[in-house]
Each structure stands twice: as C-alpha cells, then as structure tokens.
Chain A
C-alpha cells in the first residue's frame, strides 16, 4: 500500500468553499520554487 499523501486542493477558491461547507479549517501553504 502506498504511503498516504496530503490531499491538496487544486485551487484556493475551491478550498475556501469546501472549508465553509465542511467546517474544516483552511491551511494555505505558500511556496516558491528554487
């Protein structure tokens, strides 16, 4: 069985909508390559 991975949302707007529906908190993880 593969190791579990974080289920990142594909888009910020979708995550915020999902959070409001699910009553989950939102984690925004900002990153820059390099």
Chain B
C-alpha cells in the first residue's frame, strides 16, 4: 500500500478531498491505537474501515488494494454514507462512478445494486420500478451474487421487496 496505492494520485485526491484519514499500527505501543484496533476487531491487515462523520461503520475491507480497486471501494463507501443520510442524488453519483469503470472493478456489481436503490429513493417512484433500476445489473452481471440479491421479482423470489 505504501509503495503503490497510497502515493497514487487518484487515491491521494480522493482521500484528501473526502475523508479524514488515519493510519493505525495495530502492533504498535500506543494504547489508544490498540484500543481502536480492538474495537473494530480486524482479523488481518492491511484492513480498512470507513465511518460516517458520526462514527457509524459503513464498510470494511481487507488486504492489499491496487489503486483502482481502492478508489472503487472508497467511492462505494462514500455512496453508502450519502445513502444513510438520505442524500440520494449524491449517493447515486458515487455508486455510478464505480459502475462506469471500464473494465469493471471487483465491486462494480455491488455498486450497481446500490445505484439502483439510490436512484429508486431519489426518484420516489413506486416499488415496482426498482426492477428497472436494477436492469443494468441483470444485463451486465447476471451471475453475480448482487444480481441474486436483487432478483426479488423473479419466479424464485418473493415478488416484493421487504
């Protein structure tokens, strides 16, 4: 992360513009850092946790992240922060940025899932329209588990969103 990802310009720009970022050495002697590490119970490092401004955990992920994947993870997390605070248009923008990556990032199917929800919330349309918002997920990633999660209108699903 130190030699490739953290110095990457796209990573630096995103982190500096939209995050308060802190590094924590989990094996260090600082008791405050060790307490934070204990609180989040990470099983491995490097590990990443994204919190909203009030401290609510919205995403965690583990292991080395190439710059492009790291940016995708962070934008997905930022979309979820917006979604939590009902800023649906802003949430959609972050999810859409991940959805539009070409080639797709590992989290692109998940981004499309959340983009559908953000757009549905943003537009305030009836629940049946959620199917339309998830159509791109069905077409592009029909084998993904995120399409499985979205396929609540299909013959095997309950036919409605809880």
- Are A22 and B20 also in contact (CB < 8 A) when A29-B46, A33-B27 are? yes
A-B pair number, CB within 8 angstroms = 125
Measured CB to CB, the closest approach of chain A to B101, in angstroms, equals: 20
Q: Is A27 touching B50 in the complex (CB atoms < 8 A)?
A: yes
Measured CB to CB, the closest approach of chain A to B33, in angstroms, equals: 6
Residues of A close to B18: CB separation below 8 A? 24-25
Q: Which residue of A lies closest to B17 (CB)?
A: A24
Instruction: Compute how far the CA of A8 lies from the CA of B49 in the bound complex, rounded to whole angstroms.
Output: 15
B130 interface contact, C-beta 8 A = no
Give the one of B47, B53, B55 with max A CB within 10 A. Answer: B53
Measured CB to CB, the closest approach of chain A to B37, in angstroms, equals: 6
Residues of B close to A13: CB separation below 8 A? 32
Write the B7-32 contact mask toward A (1 if CB under 8 angstroms, else 0): 10101110110111111111100001
B45 interface contact, C-beta 8 A = yes
**Cβ < 8 Å to A, chain B residues 73-96:** 74, 77-78, 81
Q: Which residue of B lies closest to A21 (CB)?
A: B53
Contacting B12 at CB < 8 Å: which of A4, A9, A25, A31? A4
**Cβ < 8 Å to B, chain A residues 1-34:** 3-16, 18-20, 22-33
Contacting A8 at CB < 8 Å: which of B23, B40, B48? B23
Measured CB to CB, the closest approach of chain B to A25, in angstroms, equals: 5
* Residues of chain B at the chain A interface (Cβ within 8 Å): 1, 6-7, 9, 11-13, 15-16, 18-27, 32-33, 36-37, 40, 42, 45-55, 58, 74, 77-78, 81
What are 19 contact pairs spanning A and B, CB under 8 A? A7-B15, A9-B20, A10-B22, A12-B36, A16-B20, A19-B51, A20-B54, A22-B20, A23-B53, A24-B18, A24-B20, A26-B19, A26-B55, A29-B1, A29-B22, A30-B37, A30-B46, A32-B27, A33-B25
